[in-house]
Amino acid sequence: MTRVFVSALLVLAMATVAGAGIPSAGDSYITMSAGGKGLTTCPAGDGGAYSYITVTALRADLTPIQGIPASSFFFTVAGTGSGNVSISAFDTETDVSGNIRFQADSSGAIAYGSLTVSVQIYTVVLTSTPGTLWCNTYDLDGTGTVTPIDLGNFAGKYGTVSEDCDYDWGGGVVNPIDLGKFAQHYGH
Ligand SMILES: [Ca+2]
């Protein structure tokens, strides 16, 4: 076997691996909250709102990688209450555009605010854009129970633009829809 032949085999092998799809850390990216939704949480774990997290897997030449299974994606969530957040697969693998969707959910109350979501595909940690997961909660004072104090806090925001009480992520305005949602979680 000549050196040239071995080199050719190596080049072919590397091209095959690249063709199978090694994501580029700096070109693949996360898109958060398609549909404009964030994550609403309740101490009872039944906040119910959800947030899509879309990961787009691209090679260094920006061509999409199709067929990466959901089990090859590993998420890290950082920020207050992040331990309550779970991320599960919505799609089974990346599609023809390199896209795959996941969903964030919460097992309990977390303080409202922003959490940072990072993702690793296989062993490749994406460096381009960590995602921001916006959260709000019915337990506005963070005591672990939705009480009259929380109702008072909510009432103070009613009719205003306040994303922390805009429970349907409807553009920031706290309206009767949000009151209805708050009422469903009162006492939790
Ligand atoms: Ca409370």
Give percent above pLDDT 70 in the chain: 85
114 CB-near residues (< 8 Å, 6+ apart): 79, 132, 133, 134, 135
Looking at residues 153-169, what average pLDDT do you find? 92
- Ligand 1 centre to CA of 148 (Å) is 8
- Ligand 1 centre to CA of 6 (Å) is 68
The pLDDT value recorded for residue 146 is: 96
- Specify if 173 maps to a domain: no
- Specify if 81 maps to a domain: yes
- Ligand 1 centre to CA of 73 (Å) is 35
- Specify if 154 maps to a domain: no
Looking at residues 121-138, what average pLDDT do you find? 89
- Ligand 1 centre to CA of 108 (Å) is 13
The 10s digit of each residue's pLDDT in 18-75 is 456 899 999 999 998 755 578 888 888 887 656 689 999 999 999 999 999 999 999 9
- Specify if 118 maps to a domain: yes
- Ligand 1 centre to CA of 42 (Å) is 10
- Specify if 49 maps to a domain: yes
Q: Specify the CATH number for the domain of residue 66.
A: 2.60.40.10
130 CB-near residues (< 8 Å, 6+ apart): 30, 116, 117, 118
Average pLDDT, the chain: 85
- Specify if 155 maps to a domain: no
99 CB-near residues (< 8 Å, 6+ apart): 54, 55, 56, 57, 64, 91
For the chain, the domain total comes to 1
- Ligand 1 centre to CA of 181 (Å) is 15
The pLDDT value recorded for residue 84 is: 85
Looking at residues 164-173, what average pLDDT do you find? 86
The pLDDT value recorded for residue 28 is: 96
Domain residues for the domain of 25 are 21-138
Confidence band (pLDDT; 50, 70, 90) for 106?
confident
- Ligand 1 centre to CA of 101 (Å) is 33
- Specify if 183 maps to a domain: no
- Specify if 150 maps to a domain: no
- Ligand 1 centre to CA of 166 (Å) is 17
The pLDDT value recorded for residue 131 is: 85
Instruction: Work out the angle at residue 183's Cα, subtended by the Cα atoms of residues 41 and 104, and round it to the nearest 5 degrees.
Output: 20
